[in-house]
Chains A and B, each alone.
Chain A
Amino acid sequence: MSDIAKFPPRERHSDLAVLLPLSASAPDALGLSRWLASMPGWVLPALTTVLVFWPVYAMAQSTFTTERLLSTLLKWMPLLVTKGFVLNILISFLTMVFGTIAGIFLGLGRVSHSRFVRLVSWLMVQLFRNSPWLVLLFVVMLSLPFEIRIAGTIVPVPDWMKAVFGLSLPVMANIAEIVRGAIRSVPSGQWEAAESLAFSRTQTLWQIILPQCFKRMIPPWMNWYAIMTMATPLVSLLGVTEIITLTRQAMEAEGNHPSLLVPFYGFALIIFFAYCYPIARLTMSLEKRFAVKL
Chain B
Amino acid sequence: MSDNSPWTADQPIVSIKNVRKSYGEFEVLKGVSFDIMKGDVICIIGPSGSGKSTLIRCINALADIQDGSIKVEGQEVHDAKLDKLALRRKVGMVFQQYNLFPHKTALQNVMMAPLKVLGQQKKDVEMRARALLKKVRLEGKENAYPGELSGGQQQRVAIARSLAMQPDVMLFDEVTAALDPETVKEVLITIKELAADGMTCILVTHEMSFAREVADHIYFTDRGVIVEHGPPSTFFDNAQDPRTKAFLGQIL
Contacts and interface: CB of A to CB of B under 8 A. Distances in A.
B17 to A, nearest CB: 23
A187 B146 CA distance: 15
A189 B88 contact: no
Contacts of B191: none
A198 B85 contact: yes
Contacts of B162: 196-197
Interface in B101-125: 101-103, 112-113, 116-117
Contacts of A190: 99, 101
A291 to B, nearest CB: 14
Contacts of A208: 101
Contacts of A195: 62, 88
A189 B86 CA distance: 21
B165 A197 contact: yes
Given A193-B99, A212-B102, A212-B103, A198 B93 contact: no
B179 to A, nearest CB: 15
Contact of A189 (B60, B89, B92, B95): B95
Interface in A205-230: 207-208, 211-212
Nearest to B83: A198
Interface in B163-217: 165
Contacts of A93: none
A197 B88 contact: yes
Given A203-B117, A207-B112, A207-B116, A198 B102 contact: no
Interface of B: 60, 62, 84-86, 88-89, 91-93, 95, 97, 99-103, 112-113, 116-117, 158, 161-162, 165
A192 B95 contact: yes
Contact of A199 (B93, B100, B102, B117): B117
Interface of A: 187, 189-190, 192-200, 203, 207-208, 211-212
B97 A197 contact: no
Contacts of A193: 95, 99-101, 158
A212 B92 CA distance: 23
A203 B99 contact: no
Nearest to A189: B99
A284 B91 CA distance: 45
Contacts of B92: 196
Nearest to B93: A196
Given A211-B103, A212-B102, A212-B103, A198 B113 contact: yes
Contacts of B112: 197, 207
The 10 closest A-B pairs by CB, nearest first: A193-B99, A189-B99, A198-B88, A197-B113, A196-B93, A198-B85, A198-B117, A198-B89, A189-B97, A211-B103
Given A192-B62, A203-B117, A211-B103, A198 B165 contact: yes
8 contacts: A187-B99, A189-B95, A194-B101, A195-B62, A196-B92, A198-B84, A198-B117, A200-B85
A212 B147 CA distance: 13
A215 to B, nearest CB: 9
Contacts of B101: 190, 193-194, 208, 212
A139 B13 CA distance: 63
Contacts of B97: 187, 189
Contacts of B117: 197-199, 203
Given A192-B95, A203-B116, A203-B117, A197 B103 contact: no
A261 to B, nearest CB: 53
Most buried by B among A197, A200, A207: A197
Contacts of A197: 88, 112-113, 117, 161-162, 165
A167 to B, nearest CB: 32
A106 B100 CA distance: 28
Contacts of B88: 195-198
Nearest to A195: B62
A195 B113 CA distance: 10
Given A189-B97, A203-B116, A196 B60 contact: yes
A52 to B, nearest CB: 47
A286 to B, nearest CB: 17
Most buried by A among B84, B88, B91: B88
A207 B99 CA distance: 15
Nearest to A208: B101
Contacts of A203: 116-117
A118 B90 CA distance: 32
A182 to B, nearest CB: 13
Given A193-B99, A196-B95, A197-B165, 11 more contacts: A193-B100, A194-B101, A195-B88, A197-B112, A198-B84, A198-B88, A198-B89, A198-B165, A199-B116, A203-B117, A211-B103
Nearest to A190: B99
Contacts of A212: 101-103
